Structure 1
Amino acid sequence: MRSALTADLVRLTTLRTTPVYAALLIGACVGPIVLMTLLYDIEYRGPLDAGDLGKCASIFHVLAVVFAGATAAGEIRHGASAVAFLTQRRRWTSLLSHLLVVAGFLVASYVLGMVLALLAARCYPDGLAMTGRGWAYLGVYLLIILAWAVVATALAVLTRSVAGAIAGPLVWMLLLEQLMAMVPMLDPVLHWMPFTAGLDLAAIVLGEQSGPPVRAIVVLAAMVTVFGAAALAGHTRRDAAG
């Protein structure tokens, strides 16, 4: 397992796209806060809060899906999985190590980006107001992002396609569930959908929505379990891409 982690870490750090993704992910966190400070409108007075940082996290979320899907599919297409199959005793270790390295990269980018965003918010004319719920909200949002990164990686393993790994989650999050939200009769079903469940969980933690978070947690856990199991089965039983 240690050798698999080392190999994936070296592979990620040597990719030319890694610094680009790092800049985009970090910029997604701090960029909007800087723009809000520079374009300050006196008609919208009030300090920045976790909700404003959540808007930054939503941009980070989309980029994280792109990064996870493109990285996994790209490695498969370029033969990284084939090398792993030849050099490691168990196939599942290469998938797990890849997920851990990708998660570590996303966590580091998110934390650094939010730290810079908090520093930038100190320059906002009306300041920054953070509560305990606000900090918990940012932490929960990171877990939601990591859950969708698992989905993108799983789709990359199953489809071996960059387009499929990226488009699948994004179309579901940004199109299908948004269309479902426009149909009132689907409202009971909508809250069992993974993207909406993530939004519900974040809103409950922030205090903007009442009710227990159990349903949202179950939905997200089921999503990760199903896609993770499917990816593991596909990765261990299928031959490497030629």
Structure 2
Amino acid sequence: MSSFLAALKSETTKLLTLRSTLVYFILLGGSIGGPVFLYLAFATEKNAVTWTDLLMGGMITQMIAVIFGASSTAGEIASKMHAQAFLTERSRWNWLGARAVVSVVFLAVTVAIAVALTILMVTVWPGAEFKPEQGVSLATTFGGVLAFALLAIGIAAIVRSRVAAVGLPLVWMLVIEPLIMSVGSNVSLLKTLAKFLPARTMQDIDKWYLIPERGADFLTPTFSVTVLAIWVIALLVLGFWRNSRADVR
């Protein structure tokens, strides 16, 4: 345990001393507050802003979280910083586990600050009003950001390349999965496969609660959470296994 705590301290120090951390902090905050600012700036009448409106940029936030998780982890491997951890820490899993924990905490704190500041902006904006309704959007945004960041960390530990670690999950989320969903409506095999895709899970939970009359068209929240959890656990396990076996060059 003491070795892992030392690894946590080391990863926290690295995160707080990197200039890129501030860049990600600004990008994550802007992905939440920016769309709401534009929404309010161009509105022609009084606006009641719900959680769904407040988090309309949630998909962008999730993609930035993926880039952060993948790039920061693969960057450690590319710069051989993980080799130093192998020499100074009791077990190889410590640095990767600490990296995952520190990344998740950073993302959670950053998103929480961004949400709080955006609520403050809405509150003081002339003619705008924040209504804390449709809270499921808050849960799915937070859940998606943290889960997809962990997926990206697992992928980075497996492929050990910054370009591949960033590109694979983004291409999957933006191209492959939507294509499977689109074609799946006409192909029974793909329709079944589409039920087990990770990127759709948070969207289905959102829609299941926000459009109850069409609930039968979406996966249930329990099923969606289970599917996403299996993906996260599987990729992290593979990442830890790859990390324990890979040579340091």
Matches within 5 A, 1:124-203: 125-131=127-133, 134-183=134-183, 184-185=185-186, 186-203=190-207
Show the counterpart of 2:22: 19
Q: Please list every run of 5 or more consecutive structure 1 residues that lacks an aligned counterpart in the other structure.
A: none
Deviation at 1:181, TM superposition (A): 2.6
Moved beyond 6 Å, runs of 4+: none
Query: Within 2, Cα distance between the matches of 1:95 and 1:38?
Result: 43
Which amino acid letter does the alignment assign opposite residue 221 of structure 1? A
2:211 counterpart of 1:210: no
- Using structure 2 for the length normalisation, give the TM-score: 0.88
Query: Within 2, Cα distance between the matches of 1:117 and 1:40?
Result: 16
Show the counterpart of 2:242: 234
Show the counterpart of 2:100: 99
Query: Within 1, Cα distance between the matches of 2:42 and 2:235?
Result: 42
Q: Specify the SS of the correspondent of 1:127.
A: strand
Q: Which moved more, 1:174-183 or 1:103-112?
A: 174-183
Q: Which moved more, 1:145-154 or 1:211-220?
A: 211-220
Query: Within 1, Cα distance between the matches of 2:146 and 2:126?
Result: 29
Query: Within 1, Cα distance between the matches of 2:210 and 2:170?
Result: 24
The question of whether the paired residues in 2 share the 8 Å contact of 1:137 and 1:205 is answered with no
Show the counterpart of 1:7: 10
CA RMSD in angstroms, aligned pairs only: 1.8
Query: Within 2, Cα distance between the matches of 1:230 and 1:188?
Result: 25
- Using structure 1 for the length normalisation, give the TM-score: 0.91
Deviations 1:5-24 (A, max 9, x none): 00000111111211111111
The question of whether the paired residues in 2 share the 8 Å contact of 1:181 and 1:187 is answered with yes
Query: Within 1, Cα distance between the matches of 2:126 and 2:115?
Result: 15
State the aligned residue count: 237
The question of whether the paired residues in 1 share the 8 Å contact of 2:73 and 2:156 is answered with yes
Query: Within 2, Cα distance between the matches of 1:69 and 1:206?
Result: 31
Q: Specify the SS of the correspondent of 2:135.
A: helix
Report the CA distance shift for 1:80/1:124 in structure 2 as closer, same or farther (over 3 A).
Answer: farther
Q: Specify the SS of the correspondent of 2:132.
A: coil
